[in-house]
Amino acid sequence: MIHRIAITPGDPAGIGPDICALISRDPPKNTELVVFADRTILEARAQKLGISISLKPYVREEAPTPSAIGELSLVQINKKADVTIGELNAVNSPYVLESLELATQKVLDQELDAVVTGPVHKGIINDAGIDFSGHTEYLAGLCKVKRSVMMLATDDLRVALATTHIPLSEVPNAITKSLLRDVIRILHGDLQKRFYITKPTIIISGLNPHAGESGHLGREEIEVIQPVLTEFQKQGMNLIGPLPADTLFSSSSLDKADAVLSMYHDQGLPVLKFKGFGKATNITLGLPIIRTSVDHGTALDKAGTGEVDIGSLYQAIAAAKAMIKK
């Protein structure tokens, strides 16, 4: 089966256009890559990298055709300003989001099979006066769902987050029973639906050092986390925790788990990125569509240099294809 995968390059000043041009040299098999971008940006970046590229207009009515070497399908999104490689420009922030919005809509309409997103710069989008905390939250709004869950995956490790892009000082108040119920339901459900794991085992981290040390280092584990886990355990979910975050990532613990749920961004992701940076995939759970992403940022200093590893883009495409119903 040939899959049509939407790709949004992200911020045009960063390496998003680079990785699109680079993957055209060896596209994944049985895959039509449909890039939502400005033709002039992609062509200029390919030229800068010394890559010959052919951008053919995407035609919905035509049968899917695997991208040939040196070829990508294109949905034209007009840039708002000229692009200087490595220099962010808030004027182009609406262009970045328009690409994401149209790609998402075409997947919602089942015209395309999944969307793979390139790196954006949250700060410059907010500088444009647009409230944007990340793909995970923005896609929830586009898909009209109450909540989505951010999960990163690499070889033998999946880490989901209870909270995402908020200041560390706000995390304790954000960890509520209602939040955890939503996140655990979504994580458990998508491990079954998207990853075909019949009875997932999920390790839940504590919030505090030593998972609160019986309340002496914080009471969130006793008053918030454990009661929710007990509820779900009584319903038959296989949940382990709350465990201290400094030891749960040992092989003896992870060997039992299909996923880890961390309470905040920098609790779980440093371990995962140490294990698999450049080979990991960001996956949004809880959506009616399949969305994956590269595990790196805009890397402004590397844009246009050719010194870019596209392993994460290959991984993100492969992960998206693996989740498409056969």
Q: 137-158, pLDDT tens digit by residue?
A: 999 999 999 999 999 999 889 9
Three-state secondary-structure class, residue 276: helix
Judge whether 259 and 189 are in contact, CB under 8 Å.
no
**Close Cβ partners of 89 (under 8 Å, ≥ 6 residues apart):** 13, 81, 83, 124
Which pLDDT does position 252 carry in this prediction? Answer: 85
Q: How far apart are CA 135 and CA 159, in angstroms?
A: 17
Q: How far apart are CA 166 and CA 179, in angstroms?
A: 14
Question: Is the pTM above the cut of 0.85?
Answer: yes
Backbone conformation region of residue 241, classed left if phi is above 0, alpha if psi is from -120 to 50, else beta: left
Judge whether 155 and 279 are in contact, CB under 8 Å.
yes
Q: β-strand 114-117 against 3-8: which pairing, if any?
A: parallel
The per-residue b/e assignment along 213-225, b for 16 or more CB within 10 angstroms, e otherwise, is: eeeeebebbeebb
- DSSP 8-state assignment for residue 33: E
Q: Which residues of the chain have pLDDT under 50?
A: none
The burial of 312, by beta-carbon neighbours within 10 Å (0-12 exposed, 13-18 middle, 19 or more buried), is given as buried
Which pLDDT does position 326 carry in this prediction? Answer: 56
Q: List the domains of the chain with CATH numbers.
A: 1-145+287-326 (3.40.718.10), 148-281 (3.40.718.10)
